[in-house]
């Protein structure tokens, strides 16, 4: 699922710390590998009687393979790409997870007055960011007007187990698929009796419980820099998903203007505000994933007001003439328990 490598900001770094054992028979296990064009990693405390790590890995990778098969826009045989290739006024039977994410996308679109939209893939391709992109450039007004006729969540509808469209729209789950995958993995770990874990896929993550030594899972949020990773804020996470969305690693410049891959569906163009990245903490990694994108689209003022009004824990990084400034709301600090840096 190459789109998640190209699109998502991996702004979260796990800090492992000490791993000395406390419970008899307990051990710290970890594994990971490639997924969705990027990587995944699982770290958890294994107690006596729990499944062997090899079995846990098989179940996790089966989830990731299902997500890729259903939602990748970089493989022509995926469920969503087969739907995307249909002309207007057609329907296709879909797996339940796709219908679930379409409903989530509809919710996020409504909450943002249409700024967030799952059907912006034709715009991404036109501007040079999508899986079918040819060149990064500002499109002509005529080309933009034509493509915008094929964008809009209102062109989608669900009929039973079928997804239908009344225009030639194309759905891109990039902004929520990884969060969905992490939530699904977390639920599987819990079902296996694993209650102390950190699950991460393409930078989206969820942590629960404690590490082997009883200390919390620590996550370092990156400072937005193109050349290196710099930990800017370290937070403790227990029972929440964490997602960072940003615009500083996938962009182009033309005539002195910077154009990022973050799009406002209402305008059909990349956002031009000064918000560089947003980190959201939420009980659901899926919602953290989608809301971090939504707030990034809305920008430093509208996004901040939205997070405050809806009690969303958010950490903003904003461009300024002298570098970057940060804002953290009370909901964010409350959910992470305390500031650690």
Whole-number average pLDDT of the chain:
86
What SS3 class is residue 305? helix
pLDDT confidence tier of residue 229, bands split at 50, 70 and 90: very low
Q: Give domain 71-165's CATH superfamily.
A: ApbE-like superfamily (1.10.3980.10)
Name residue, tokens 């998502």.
8
Q: Are strands 90-93 and 156-159 parallel, antiparallel or unpaired?
A: unpaired
Give the highest mean pLDDT range of 2-11, 140-149, 251-260, 305-314.
305-314
pLDDT in tens, 18-54: 444 445 679 999 999 999 889 999 999 999 999 999 9
pTM of the model: 0.88
* Residue carrying structure tokens 């400072």: 223
Residues 6+ apart with CB under 8 A from 294: 108, 111, 112, 115, 116, 303, 306
What whole-number distance in Å separates Cα of residue 321 and Cα of residue 292?
24
Domain spans in the chain, listed from the N-terminal domain onward: 71-165
Other Cβ atoms closer than 10 A to 5: 17
Nearest C-alpha neighbor of 60 from the set 197, 173, 175, 172:
197
Is the pLDDT assigned to residue 230 strictly greater than 90? Answer: no
User: Coil, strand, or helix at residue 2?
Assistant: helix
Tokens 């991460």 -> residue: 200
What are the residues whose beta carbons fall under 8 Å from the beta carbon of 289, sequence distance 6 or more? 175, 176, 178, 179, 180, 182, 204, 241, 243, 245
Alpha helices in 192-314 (DSSP H): 285-309
* DSSP letters spanning 36-102: TTEEEEEEEEEPTTSPPHHHHHHHHHHHHHHHHHHH-SSSTTSHHHHHHTS-SSEEEE--HHHHHHH
């Amino acid at each position: 699922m190459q789109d998640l490598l190209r699109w998502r900001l991996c702004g979260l770094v796990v800090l492992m710390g000490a791993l000395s054992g406390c419970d008899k028979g307990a051990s710290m296990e970890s594994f990971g590998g490639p997924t969705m064009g990027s990587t995944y990693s699982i770290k958890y405390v294994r107690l006596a009687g729990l499944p062997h790590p090899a079995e846990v890995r098989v179940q996790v990778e089966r989830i990731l393979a299902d997500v890729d098969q259903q939602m990748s826009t970089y493989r022509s045989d995926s469920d969503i790409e087969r739907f995307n290739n249909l002309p207007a006024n057609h329907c296709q039977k879909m797996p339940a997870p796709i219908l679930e994410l379409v409903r989530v996308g509809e919710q996020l679109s409504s909450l943002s007055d249409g700024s967030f939209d799952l059907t912006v893939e034709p715009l991404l391709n036109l501007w040079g960011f999508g899986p079918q992109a040819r060149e990064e450039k500002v499109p002509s007004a005529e080309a933009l007007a034509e493509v915008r006729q094929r964008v809009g969540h209102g062109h989608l509808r669900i009929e039973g187990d079928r997804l239908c469209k009344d225009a030639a729209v194309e759905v891109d789950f990039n902004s929520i698929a990884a969060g969905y995958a992490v939530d699904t993995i977390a639920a599987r770990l819990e079902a296996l009796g694993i209650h102390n874990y950190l699950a991460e896929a393409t930078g989206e993550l969820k942590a629960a419980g404690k590490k082997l030594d009883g200390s919390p899972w620590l996550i370092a949020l990156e400072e937005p820099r193109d050349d290196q990773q710099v930990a800017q804020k370290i937070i403790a996470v227990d029972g929440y998903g964490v997602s960072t969305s940003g615009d500083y690693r996938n962009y182009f410049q033309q005539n002195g203007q910077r154009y990022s891959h973050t799009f406002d569906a209402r305008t059909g163009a990349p956002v031009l505000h000064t918000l560089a990245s947003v980190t959201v903490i939420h009980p659901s990694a899926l919602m953290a994933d989608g809301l971090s994108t939504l707030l990034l689209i809305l920008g430093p003022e509208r996004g901040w007001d939205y997070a405050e009004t809806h009690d969303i824990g958010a950490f903003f990084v904003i461009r300024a003439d002298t570098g970057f400034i940060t804002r953290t709301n009370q909901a964010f600090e409350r959910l992470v328990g305390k500031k650690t840096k």
